[in-house]
Structure 1
């Protein structure tokens, strides 16, 4: 399987986009960026990014420029064989519109950095994906059975997920004073795994409070974007 995937990526790197696939039906430009182009219109792609193609028409860019909120997400299972993911950007301007399409060879940090270069923009996460990530780490830290069968453990872990709905300047204090402080009250069988889970939460999420906090936000999830997949 890995060999087959590598073959597809090699094809992707060599694939030449003909003019027919760079224009919309009216003959206007649609291809915005191709890392394989001889003259790259803006920042060249680092080697870690590999092949990156960005499609967006002038009309879509106009909608993007007028959007007060944008959302972005990658689809992996629905991606073409020659790319790891199809990354899309959605703009909210009266309604939701898909404004950018990006077939990507890589899903590394540099790929997203190259696609999204928006100064003076505040990043806000999705409350659903935050809770999903926390729950995955509940499982990874051996707490799934306790989460399902022990009321106190379940309460503590749900309180951790609920921190996303608290004002950002209160999250850290509430976490230490109201959530973590309960760890010594659970059964000894669960304490080690719970401590390790808290270490993960502190080293990752407590460093990104402004990103996962959705307090006072009118849009707290990217369900509209997910519906396009």
Structure 2
């Protein structure tokens, strides 16, 4: 099956500087699909690129949704780009994919440019890109950009990414065996992960209680959690 698919798709580009085949610029019914292809040059060479795909129908859906979701995928991105970024809109309790971007990085400058492109096309369609709620992971550059560009939106972190980040830190701190074999250590770690599920006004007191009862072996995780999740106001649990 994979061999058959490769026969119908072009070879992967050898650099970030390439032409997009015409067949990928439009949908199967002939509607424009390639929305933006912004290229940044330096000394005659392409150093960054933002490619954004969306039909006007998808954009209208996005710009009329009060709740949007932002998600980056890194493993499936081509070698010359950093991530494939999807933008979803929630309408009538259904999730709609509204735009797909191929990004050369994950800096605040790139996210700001992406939001600027969407804002420009919202104006073109006589609409506004002003979601009241945004869900995403906890990437600091994205969190700051959302706060700067969409200050009236309520930015909510994804619980899946939050729990994943804590698990990752358990491994990096060398606490995997403690988490696996020590019931008290495992219980403490899981209580930290569950803090995202209680009312915001109760989080600080609950964390202090968890920290006071935590076994000595898990203290590095407590220190990480306090420093990263409890004291950075731009990160939302």
TM-score, normalization: structure 2? 0.69
Q: Cα 1:107–1:37, aligned 2, differ >3 Å: closer, same or farther?
A: closer
Which structure 1 residue ranges, 5 or more long, are not aligned?
Answer: 1-7, 39-48, 214-229
The answer (yes or no) to whether the contact 1:164–1:212 under 8 Å persists in 2 is no
What does residue range 157-168 of structure 1 map to in structure 2 within 5 Å? Answer: 157-168=189-200
d(CA) in 2 for partners of 1:52, 1:109: 13
Write the distance in 2 (CA, Å) between the matches of 1:18 and 1:111. 24
Find 1:15's aligned residue among 7, 10, 18. 18
* Contact map agreement 1:9 1:105 (CA 8 A) in 2: no
CA distance in 2, matches of 1:37, 1:99: 25
Are 1:204 and 2:228 an aligned pair?
yes
**CA contact 2:27–2:33 (8 Å) conserved in 1:** yes
Residues 1-229 of structure 1 aligned to structure 2 (within 5 Å): 11-12=15-16, 14-17=17-20, 21-36=24-39, 50-94=48-92, 95-116=94-115, 119=150, 120-176=152-208, 178-183=209-214, 186=215, 190=217, 194-207=218-231, 212-213=236-237
Highest relative contact order (Cα 8 Å, sep 6+), 1 or 2?
A: 1
What number of residue pairs does the alignment pair up? 189
CA–CA distance in structure 2, aligned partners of residues 153 and 202 of structure 1? 16
Matched-pair contact (CA < 8 Å) for 2:52–2:100: yes
Runs of 4+ in 1 over 6 A off after TM superposition: none
Task: Evaluate the alpha carbon distance shift between residue 207 and residue 66 of structure 1 in structure 2; reply closer, same or farther with a 3 A threshold.
Answer: farther
Q: Is there any run of 5+ residues in structure 2 with no aligned partner, and where?
A: 1-11, 42-46, 117-129, 131-149
Higher fraction of strand? 2
On the 8 A contact 2:87/2:97 being kept in 1, the answer is yes
Report the alpha carbon displacement of residue 203 of structure 1 after superposing the two structures with TM.
1.7
TM-score w.r.t. length of structure 1: 0.71
Indicate if the aligned counterparts of 2:40 and 2:48 stay in contact, CA closer than 8 A: no
